[in-house]
Structure 1
Amino acid sequence: MPHYRTMLRATAWYLLAALAEIGGCYAFYAWLRLGRSPLWTLPGLASLLVFAWALTRVEAAAAGRIFAAYGGIYIFASLAWLWLVEGQRPDRFDLAGVALCLAGSGVILLGPRP
């Protein structure tokens, strides 16, 4: 049962990190590509700080493994952003790709280690 709780906790931290990273990057995108005020960078920077902090909360023996496994979660969250914020529904290729990435993240994070 502790392994189950560890995975739930890691998933929560990964989702928070993804939301914070995408939100922070979008703030800069809005400023530089959509002509919004440079003041958008202030919450963007704060959001990117939350991203970095949240990613350090995931338990693993090596930072590189945490970052690699995060990639699948980031892709999942990016497609959710695409749909919920930008109003573009992911297609079957997006869904197939994210399924592969999430499977890879699981292998990286849950694989047996000596």
Structure 2
Amino acid sequence: MTLPAFLVAALAEIGGCFAFWHVVRHGGAPWWLAAGTASLAAFAYALTFVEAEAAGRAFAAYGGIYIAASLAWLWAVEGVRPDRWDAAGALMCLAGAAVIVFGPRG
């Protein structure tokens, strides 16, 4: 359940933040703020489904997923292709998230 929860959370968080970005930076209609707020609430709810014994650990591991998903958004929605440095950074963050999620605990 962890990976699907992370992916839903990432889409909801990025979409919610983008809604605010669109209003402030590009003069989008105010209704975008309502959609953005609802999306950010969905993000927080999605993270409650992550299989972790502590919220902080779940949030830390989510950071790697968020970074990779943000680069996918950059390409798919904003039309900017990530470069090799973006890809390398995302891979490092995903590796860090995997250590947090799958590391042995005593």
Q: TM-score, normalised on structure 1? A: 0.91
Question: CA–CA distance in 2 between the matches of 1:56 and 1:86?
Answer: 29
Which residue number corresponds to residue 26 of structure 2? 34
Question: Which residue does the alignment assign to 2:13?
Answer: 21
Cα RMSD of the aligned pairs, angstroms, is 0.5
Matches of 1:61 and 1:109 in 2, distance apart?
11
1:71 paired residue among 63, 71, 77: 63
Aligned partner letter, 2:34: L
For residue 38 of structure 1, report the CA deviation from its aligned partner. 1.3
Output the TM-score relative to the length of structure 2.
0.98
Other-structure match for 1:80: 72
What percentage of aligned pairs have identical amino acids? 63
Give me the whole-angstrom Cα distance separating, in 2, the residues matched to 1:82 and 1:13: 21
**Which runs of 5 or more structure 1 residues have no equivalent in the other structure?**
1-8
Alignment: residue pair count? 106
Task: Describe how 1:1-114 pairs up with structure 2 within 5 A.
Answer: 9-114=1-106
Which amino acid in 2 is paired with 1:76? Answer: A
Structure 2, unaligned runs of 5 or more:
none
Aligned residue type for 1:79: L
**What is the CA–CA distance in structure 2 between the aligned matches of 1:99 and 1:36, rounded to whole Å?**
33
Q: Which runs of 4+ in 1 moved over 3 A?
A: none
- Distance in 2 of aligned mates of 1:50 and 1:36: 21
